[in-house]
Amino acid sequence: MSSSPTSPAGPAAGQPVRAQRSPIRWVSSLYFVQGMQFFVVMLIAGLMFKNMGVSNDQIARWTGLLGLAWAFKPLWSPFLELARSKKLIVVAGQYTGAVGLALMVIALQLPMWFAASIAVLFLLAYASATHDIACDGLYMASLDDKQQAAYAGWQGAFFNASKFLTLGGLLVLAGHLERGIGVMNAWSVIFALLSVLLFVLASYNAYALPGALNTDHGDLTATGVLRTLREVIADFLGKPGIWLSILFIVMFRFAEGQVQTIGPLFLIEARDKGGLGLTTEQVGGIYGTVGTAAFLAGSIVGGYFTSWLSLRRAMPFLIVAMAVPNATFYYLAVTMPADLWHVGFAVAVEMLGYGFGFVGMILYIMQAVAPGRYQTAHYALGSGVMQLGFILSKTISGDIQVAMGYEHFFLWTIACGAPALILLLFVRMPGKSSAPTVAASGAAEPVERTV
């Protein structure tokens, strides 16, 4: 989830070093790769398994466990400061990802393809999460404050451009290939293409990325880093009202984790099993185009709305907006529309509401949880808690859906939004919001990564 493509700007170890090449030449490829690896693990894998006949409870459980990599990455991120250069970690992570994607091609052809695929996806998840840490660290170490602000929007843009590629492009291609060469072979082709693409991008980044050095790495030791990490966690857990804040963060995303997991599976599920019976191509086309555009629009509008009204006053509206996807899928489960335009419009409304509301949690962590002695580290921990809440609800969503059926499941998720509204009466809230640019930048974080 995860931290967003941009963590709050702050000094990396050593002084920021101005990149010799234009930042756009490497920021674009860096964050495109970051998004591509994330969406493959957290979105594409689940839809692939659905087409291979895996049950919803198994899909939710295993893809949820994969997401723990992004929830717990703040725990090992400080140790990356021991490396001489974050560029080395970034490039190594990308080549590891390329190898992992190639292994998926092999895994899908094995008799025990499901277990083999999950094992490879775990490799991809932890390599990607570690790569994310180094990406953000390299960005902050290579650019001064003015440049960081100037290129923050490009981070979110290229991160989400990878979503357009994976959902709007490769998922559609997979659906087309499934009809001709079968599901297993089709997805083997997709992962082969992804592996080649990531290898090419890794090779380009090995050339294009700035080689900003961590000038303090020689003074750091693993023991010292561990001691600092303990201090950071103790200080975080010692904040006034932090346990109530943690509960609020978890409940804010409790319904979302369930809907974002089961919703796309519901669209693909056969109509005689309670789903809408869409093809892989149709789901990819909807989410990769109008869904992505609606999410970005909602994020931008939500950021400026919160900046105008202040987070304290905007938060009730943002929590209600987070319930829009729940209500939208309940509507689809009740009416069962067959018209693709009807479904596409509903998904656009879903993603618009989600993008609008999600900015509330990003800003809450920035303004109410993170401030203090270790602001950047506490933001990372808060984001990890947010991701953990998403993963916990995602992991159990399949079992709940199987027990309830689609219609009652989506009705249940509407009720799951109530605890966050109640907790809002008791949690500490900041008085004012950040500037619009900060809000919009935070909101650019894609849903599934904070998944």
What was the pLDDT predicted at 126? Answer: 92
What was the pLDDT predicted at 197? Answer: 94
Look at 33-37, 187-191, 376-380, 408-412 and tell me which has the smallest mean pLDDT: 376-380
- Tell me: pLDDT of 358 over 60: yes
What was the pLDDT predicted at 83? Answer: 73
Q: Is residue 113 part of a domain?
A: yes
Q: At what angle do helices 375-404 and 406-415 cross, to 10 degrees?
A: 140
What was the pLDDT predicted at 79? Answer: 77
Q: For residues 184 and 248, what is the distance between their CA atoms, to the nearest angstrom?
A: 42
Residue % of the chain over a pLDDT of 70: 87
- Tell me: pLDDT of 434 over 70: no
Confidence of residue 401 (pLDDT cuts 50, 70, 90): very high
Stronger pLDDT, 50 or 376, i.e. the higher one: 50
Stronger pLDDT, 6 or 74, i.e. the higher one: 74
Express each pLDDT in 303-332 by its tens digit.
888 888 888 888 999 999 989 999 999 999
Express each pLDDT in 17-28 by its tens digit.
444 567 888 888
What was the pLDDT predicted at 329? Answer: 94
The residue-averaged pLDDT of 183-200 equals 94
Number of domains making up the chain: 1
Express each pLDDT in 255-293 by its tens digit.
988 998 899 999 999 898 988 989 888 888 888 888 888
What does the block give as tokens for 106? 């092999």
The residue-averaged pLDDT of 358-362 equals 83
* pTM, full prediction: 0.78
Which domain does 317 fall in, by range? 24-443
Look at 104-108, 318-322, 427-431 and tell me which has the smallest mean pLDDT: 427-431
Rg from Cα positions in the chain: 21
Q: Is residue 29 part of a domain?
A: yes
The residue-averaged pLDDT of 378-385 equals 85
Confidence of residue 216 (pLDDT cuts 50, 70, 90): low
Q: Is residue 19 part of a domain?
A: no
What was the pLDDT predicted at 103? Answer: 96
Backbone angles phi, psi at 250, to 5 degrees: -65, -45
Confidence of residue 217 (pLDDT cuts 50, 70, 90): low
Q: Is residue 66 part of a domain?
A: yes
Q: Is residue 17 part of a domain?
A: no
- Tell me: pLDDT of 13 over 50: no
What was the pLDDT predicted at 212? Answer: 62
262, 404 contact by CB (below 8 A) = no
What was the pLDDT predicted at 91? Answer: 92
The residue-averaged pLDDT of 87-116 equals 93
Q: Is residue 9 part of a domain?
A: no
Confidence of residue 215 (pLDDT cuts 50, 70, 90): low
CA nearest to 440, candidates 317, 325, 301, 347: 301
Q: Is residue 137 part of a domain?
A: yes
Confidence of residue 449 (pLDDT cuts 50, 70, 90): low
- Tell me: pLDDT of 436 over 60: no
343, 337 contact by CB (below 8 A) = yes
Q: How far is CA 446 from CA 21, 54, 140, 283, 441, in A?
A: 28, 26, 20, 18, 11
- Tell me: pLDDT of 445 over 60: no
SS (H, E, C) the chain: CCCCCCCCCCCCCCCCCCCCCCCHHHHHHHHHHHHHHHHHHHHHHHHHHHHCCCCHHHHHHHHHHHCHHHHHHHHCHHHHHHCCEHHHHHHHHHHHHHHHHHHHHHHCCCCCHHHHHHHHHHHHHHHHHHHHHHHHHHHHHHCCHHHHHHHHHHHHHHHHHHHHHHHHHHHHHHHHHHHHHCHHHHHHHHHHHHHHHHHHHHHHHHHHCCCCECCCHHHCCHHHHHHHHHHHHHHHHCCCCHHHHHHHHHHHCHHHHHHHHHHHHHHHCCHHHCCCCCCHHHHHHHHHHHHHHHHHHHHHHHHHHHHHHCHHHHHHHHHHHHCHHHHHHHHHHHHCCCCHHHHHHHHHHHHHHHHHHHHHHHHHHHHHHCCCCCHHHHHHHHHHHHHHHHHHHHHHHHHHHHHHCHHHHHHHHHHCCHHHHHHCCCCCCCCCCCCHHHHHHHHCCCCCCCC
Q: For residues 261 and 374, what is the distance between their CA atoms, to the nearest angstrom?
A: 33
Residue % of the chain over a pLDDT of 90: 31
Which residues fall within 8 angstroms of residue 179, CB to CB, at 6 or more apart?
none
Q: For residues 205 and 91, what is the distance between their CA atoms, to the nearest angstrom?
A: 7
**What is the domain-level CATH number for residue 177?**
1.20.1250.20
Q: How far is CA 309 from CA 122, 433, 440, in A?
A: 42, 8, 14
* Stated length of the chain: 451
Q: For residues 59 and 238, what is the distance between their CA atoms, to the nearest angstrom?
A: 37
